[in-house]
Amino acid sequence: MKIVFAGTPAFAVSSLRAAARHHEVVAVYTQPDRPAGRGRGLAPSPVKLDAIARGIPVFQPESLKTPEAQQQLRDLQPDLMVVVAYGLILPKAVLTIPTHGCWNVHASLLPRWRGAAPIQRAIQAGDTETGVCLMQMEAGLDTGPVLLKQHIAIGANDTGGQLHDRLAALGEQVLSDGLGLLRAGIKPIAQPQPEAGVTYAHKLDKAEARLDWSGDAQALARTVRAFNPWPIAEATLAGERVRIHGAIALEDNQGKAPGTLLAASREGIDIACGQGALRLRVLQREGGKAITAADYLNARRDLGVGA
């Protein structure tokens, strides 16, 4: 089969690997190079780097809505287009170009968590299970029928980064299974998504990373996990702005006002919340690197170190 692959971030690289393993990937579409790093120089996407290493032609249109971009895709005569976290909207005209249409690898159990950030939103909401769906794309946002899916448990300590890596590997497996069936002449049966249970995983915003001590400690701990490694939760601790890479929720806030420092020991720094308390275990000072609470307290003797 002649496959066109469209994807941009690291999550999509393993799916590109699956597509290229037994099929001819005639082209890779990825977003234009973007400024990155301290120098703000243009940086290629992880998918572009992988495609170049494989010798696959790379196309980076600003949009697929123009007649020129659509004709370019048409000229490739693809049997299938595989889309994984591409980041650009596929117009209806594009969806009909490949013989078998467009497949999407999506990191949730649809219809839950349609949208841009399903991995982080699942952790943030306290879900105990998620997965990957292979979906036949249609004009709506992640509304297409599901071809194949796999479930995976969300661990109590999973961070966004850890779950991302596990789901990327699962996405590779699910896509490989689907492509194997199609290559054998068996198209997976498309199951329409149920109308009940639809939720949307809105794009992450750095402003959300600011922790509000008046909130519930359990919810704040989930946000810390969900936003690691990006955008990383942050808060004010004894007058200093810090980023929080690791924290756990405690039940007792000792009746203190939200934001009150309850204890500071090598086990962590306990802060009263609206409900319960949050124990900060891994922190990052401005301009520094992530360190344990014990190392942080060595530099903040004013907070006091318990037993």
Whether 206-303 and 2-201 are alike in CATH topology: the answer is no
Q: Is 280 annotated as a binding residue?
A: no
Q: Whole-structure pTM over 0.85, yes or no? A: yes
Higher-pLDDT residue of 301, 4: 4
- 33: left (phi > 0), else alpha (psi -120 to 50), else beta? beta
The CATH class of the 206-303 domain is alpha beta
What is the phi/psi pair of residue 190, to 5°?
A: -80, 120
Q: Is 63 annotated as a binding residue?
A: no
Query: CA 187 to CA 89: how far, in whole Å?
Result: 25
**What is the predicted pLDDT for the residue at 303?**
82
- Residue 292, Cβ neighbours under 10 Å: how many? 17
Question: Model confidence over 215-261: pLDDT tens digits?
Answer: 999 999 999 999 999 999 999 998 899 999 999 999 999 999 999 99
For the chain, what are the domain ranges?
2-201, 206-303
Q: According to the CATH classification, is domain 2-201 in 3.40.50.170?
A: yes
**What is the predicted pLDDT for the residue at 304?**
65
Q: Is 42 annotated as a binding residue?
A: no
- Residue 289, Cβ neighbours under 10 Å: how many? 8
Q: Is 303 annotated as a binding residue?
A: no
Question: Model confidence over 88-134: pLDDT tens digits?
Answer: 989 999 999 999 999 999 999 999 999 999 999 999 999 999 999 99
Strand partners, 246: 282
Res. 305: pLDDT tops 90: no
**What is the predicted pLDDT for the residue at 301?**
83
Res. 38: pLDDT tops 80: no
What's the mean pLDDT when you consider all of the chain? 95
Residue 275 vs residues 50, 126, 135: alpha-carbon distances, Å: 46, 16, 40
For the chain, percent of residues with pLDDT exceeding 90: 92
Helices (H) and strands (E) in the chain, counts: 8, 17
SS3 state of residue 156: coil
| Mean pLDDT of the region 67-94 | 96
Amino acid identity for residue 173 in this structure: Q
pLDDT tier at 306, thresholds 50, 70, 90: very low
